[in-house]
């Protein structure tokens, strides 16, 4: 039994036409259960404050949970929105079949469980990546829920680089790029590139080469406390970039080193059903909706 939810803030995906009566319908169902309902400033700037709701001030962090209205992409955005707050997040699916969303629009019984505290909170591992110059100075850093992707932008060309873990050289890779994924991110780009599915209850860093130019190169899952380093880039006159959770991009410069490790941040994900990841995985991999 977790904390009862009495003050919840909605984070709608503004690109999915979730506004007007749909927003008010969701809000009213919580209000009927005795909850106070806030809405993110991003939404109210666009559509105004829905009836019987209030505009949430992010600086206050005064709520019991966030309700994301969208799909898995919206949940990833919520992971960045909630960093540093430890406020748990639950997803209501307005997208395609998602691994992270827990509710449907008509899930009245599940809403009651949420309000009564009849849920569990998964603490999902996140990663931090730092780009350091040749002198060890951090140029920029990212924290991600899904993955850090190393590639060379819109034109696919082979790049070469060395992969180290805990100070030991693992291999020199010649590939189109590399993905460093959390267990949560193992079902995203990493899976498409041939990486393993990792149960999100586990902790580890999955490193998956993208189109490696060798049959002997395979994905590797390192321990959660491993320190991953990528360096000695040979780019054949092409640019090399880091893409963080599909939302932030930085270019790798000559002499740069990329350091990847487990983040001190975690994504606190509300679960209302008995381990729904396995049933979603079955539907996803079998092509069923």
Whether residue 135 contacts residue 255, with contact meaning beta carbons closer than 8 Å, is answered with no
User: C-alpha distances in angstroms, 155 versus 79, 150, 239, 262?
Assistant: 30, 13, 9, 30
* Catalytic residue, candidates 72, 147, 245, 256: 72
- The yes-or-no answer on residue 282 being catalytic is no
261 CB-side CA count, 13 A: 11
Active site residues: 72
């Amino acid at each position: 039994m977790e904390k009862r939810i009495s003050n919840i803030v909605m984070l709608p995906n503004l690109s999915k036409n979730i506004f007007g009566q749909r927003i008010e319908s969701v809000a009213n169902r919580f209000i009927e259960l005795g909850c106070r309902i806030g809405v993110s400033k991003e939404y109210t700037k666009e559509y105004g404050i829905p009836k019987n709701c209030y505009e949430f001030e992010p600086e206050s962090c005064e709520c019991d949970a966030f309700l994301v209205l969208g799909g898995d992409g919206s949940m990833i955005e919520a992971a960045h929105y909630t960093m540093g707050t430890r406020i748990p997040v639950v997803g209501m699916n307005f997208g395609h079949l998602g691994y992270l969303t827990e509710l449907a629009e008509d899930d009245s019984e599940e809403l009651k469980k949420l309000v009564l505290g009849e849920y569990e909170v998964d603490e999902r591992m996140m990663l931090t990546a730092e780009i350091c110059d040749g002198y060890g100075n951090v140029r920029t850093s990212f924290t991600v829920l899904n993955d850090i992707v190393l590639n060379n932008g819109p034109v696919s060309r082979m790049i070469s680089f060395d992969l180290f873990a805990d100070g030991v050289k693992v291999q020199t890779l010649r590939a189109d790029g590399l993905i460093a994924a959390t267990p949560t991110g193992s079902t995203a780009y990493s899976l498409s590139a041939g990486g393993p599915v990792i149960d999100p209850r586990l902790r580890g860093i999955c490193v998956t080469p993208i189109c490696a130019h060798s049959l002997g190169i395979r994905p590797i899952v390192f321990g959660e406390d491993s320190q991953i380093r990528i360096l000695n880039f040979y780019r054949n006159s092409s640019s090399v970039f880091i893409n963080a959770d599909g939302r932030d991009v930085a270019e790798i410069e000559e002499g740069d080193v990329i350091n990847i490790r487990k983040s001190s941040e975690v994504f606190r994900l509300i679960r209302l059903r008995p381990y729904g990841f396995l049933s979603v995985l079955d539907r996803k991999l079998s092509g069923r909706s």
